[in-house]
Amino acid sequence: MEIFVLIFSFIVLVGIRVPIAWSIGIASVLTLLFSVDTIPAFTTISQRVATGLDSFSLLAIPFFILAGHIMNSGGIAKRLIEFAKSLVGALPGGLAHVNIVAAMMFGAIAGSAGAAAAAIGSFMSERMEKEGYTKEYGVAVNVTSATTGLLIPPSNIFIIYSLASGGVSIGALFLAGYIPGILTGLILMAIALVWAKKKGFPTGKRSSFKHIMKSFFDALPSLLLLIIIIGGIVGGIFTATEASSVAVVYCLILAFLYKELNFSKLKTVLVESVGTISLVMLLIAMSIAMSWVMSYENIPQEVTSALLGFSDNPFVVIILINLILLFVGIFMDMTPAVLIFTPIFLPVAVAMGMDPVHFGVIMILNLCIGLCTPPVGAVLFIGVGVANTTIQKVVKPLLPLFVGMLVSLILVIIFPFLSLWLPELFGF
């Protein structure tokens, strides 16, 4: 009864366009009201919302969001684009490759697919159109490549998964995301190469070694942030939360040195960051409350039993989980999806013999695909908005890149070492 109330009420609320955070909270309250146990629903949910945010690890998310906003306004994207252009601009369809590589670097540094889509898209959209690329193709490339930054650390969503999983090492998750993130980017570049030859997109000029080195040194201070953050976490110098505050200070210094940020502009950046942080933390708080309700009503155990009873073949069960996640990702934002479905599916995956770190990478990569798909793909909306076009026009050029992301997901599922080799190498 309780699982039916939870699912039905949530679907109805989302269907009538109630904001996702409130849909999660209301569905949680209704489930407790219909529960066989008489517990104060409103008081309990309020307590779970408050205590759910009382986590040292969660402090990293506001800091990384703020760092991403500072990078977006601090001239970092421009320098990364120039460096990427010097490396891959001479390939057929060069600007598409520049978009992908720049999005991988910026998304990794900012830890946000949305920030990467907005920053890189605002620079690349007009430039690609001027050089003969269709606007819609540029959006498709921008949107799909932006999601690689959620896999390449530092990544906020890995921190959220660590919280939802009950304590999987953030350092291990960060290391685990490198190869799948780079693999996804390379597959997207291969598709862009084929598409460029088919459509006759222009090829850029080959950069001289001098130009490559100049653009590299211009981008080096930005790229050093990755080494500082990941090296500090892996080396045990600081935690992920402490690393996020280091990232803010470093980005502030960099933005002021680049003279792209002043105190007047910083005020706008802080206000925008607070808005984003408020939205994200509300989603997290409501999702934690729903996770507690599901645990209280033994819903994860029921789902685990049902899935294990459906088949004793691990491959079949993992495929079923991924199909469900693909469907969920189309309609739900990544943060609540991770918080709600990790406690449900992780026990099943572990029972099937899968490593929790490997499953985390699979889950994030799977949900990244949902960020690029209509009707609720958040990154798709950002990319379309930046380029001033429509989703309907972007769908066709998006399809081959979408297939490429699915291929990457399948490879990560089949070959666990793609996720586990680096964590094992560094002793996690």
Residues 334-346 have pLDDT tens digits of 888 888 888 888 9
pLDDT attached to residue 110: 67
Contact predicate 93/195, CB 8 Å: yes
Q: For the residues 283-312, what does the mean pLDDT come to?
A: 75
Predicted confidence (pLDDT) at residue 361 exceeds the cutoff of 90? yes
- For residue 174, give both structure tokens: 């960060």
pLDDT attached to residue 179: 92
**Which of 145, 227, 59 is CA-nearest to residue 405?**
145
- Measure CA 315 to chain center: 25
pLDDT attached to residue 376: 62
Rounded to an integer, what distance in angstroms lies between the CA atom of residue 161 and that of residue 166? 9
pLDDT attached to residue 272: 82
Which band of pLDDT confidence, cut at 50, 70 and 90, is reported for residue 180? very high
Rounded to an integer, what distance in angstroms lies between the CA atom of residue 376 and that of residue 31? 25
Predicted confidence (pLDDT) at residue 365 exceeds the cutoff of 90? yes
Q: For the residues 66-88, what does the mean pLDDT come to?
A: 77
Predicted confidence (pLDDT) at residue 111 exceeds the cutoff of 80? no
Q: Please state, as a whole number, how many other Cβ atoms lie within 10 Å of the Cβ of residue 56.
A: 10
Q: Which helix (H) or strand (E) holds 409?
A: helix 391-414
pLDDT tens for 268-278 read 888 888 887 88
Contact predicate 317/307, CB 8 Å: yes
pLDDT attached to residue 356: 94
Predicted confidence (pLDDT) at residue 1 exceeds the cutoff of 70? no
Q: For the residues 102-125, what does the mean pLDDT come to?
A: 74
**Which of 275, 281, 280, 293 is CA-nearest to residue 10?**
293
pLDDT tens for 52-62 read 777 776 777 78
Q: Please state, as a whole number, how many other Cβ atoms lie within 10 Å of the Cβ of residue 424.
A: 15
How many residues does this entry show for the chain?
A: 428
Measured CA distances, 156 to 212, 334, 355, 408 (Å): 31, 11, 20, 21
Rounded to an integer, what distance in angstroms lies between the CA atom of residue 330 and that of residue 324? 10
- For residue 253, give both structure tokens: 């210094």
Contact predicate 218/79, CB 8 Å: yes
pLDDT attached to residue 410: 94
Contact predicate 148/186, CB 8 Å: no
Span of 39-48, 123-132, 143-152, 191-200 with lowest mean pLDDT? 123-132
114: exposed, middle or buried (Cβ count in 10 Å: 0-12, 13-18, 19+):
buried
Contact predicate 397/136, CB 8 Å: yes
pLDDT tens for 366-381 read 998 888 876 667 778 7
Percent of the chain whose predicted confidence (pLDDT) is above 90? 11
Residues 6+ apart with CB under 8 A from 363: 161, 325, 338, 341, 342, 345
Which band of pLDDT confidence, cut at 50, 70 and 90, is reported for residue 202? low
- 354 vs 4, more confident: 354
Predicted confidence (pLDDT) at residue 183 exceeds the cutoff of 90? yes
Percent of the chain whose predicted confidence (pLDDT) is above 70? 94
Predicted confidence (pLDDT) at residue 390 exceeds the cutoff of 90? no
pLDDT attached to residue 36: 63
Rounded to an integer, what distance in angstroms lies between the CA atom of residue 344 and that of residue 306? 11
pTM above 0.85, yes or no: no
Rounded to an integer, what distance in angstroms lies between the CA atom of residue 345 and that of residue 73? 38
Predicted confidence (pLDDT) at residue 204 exceeds the cutoff of 70? no
Rounded to an integer, what distance in angstroms lies between the CA atom of residue 54 and that of residue 51? 5
Q: Please state, as a whole number, how many other Cβ atoms lie within 10 Å of the Cβ of residue 366.
A: 24
Contact predicate 336/144, CB 8 Å: no
Question: Average pLDDT of the chain?
Answer: 81
Contact predicate 126/116, CB 8 Å: no
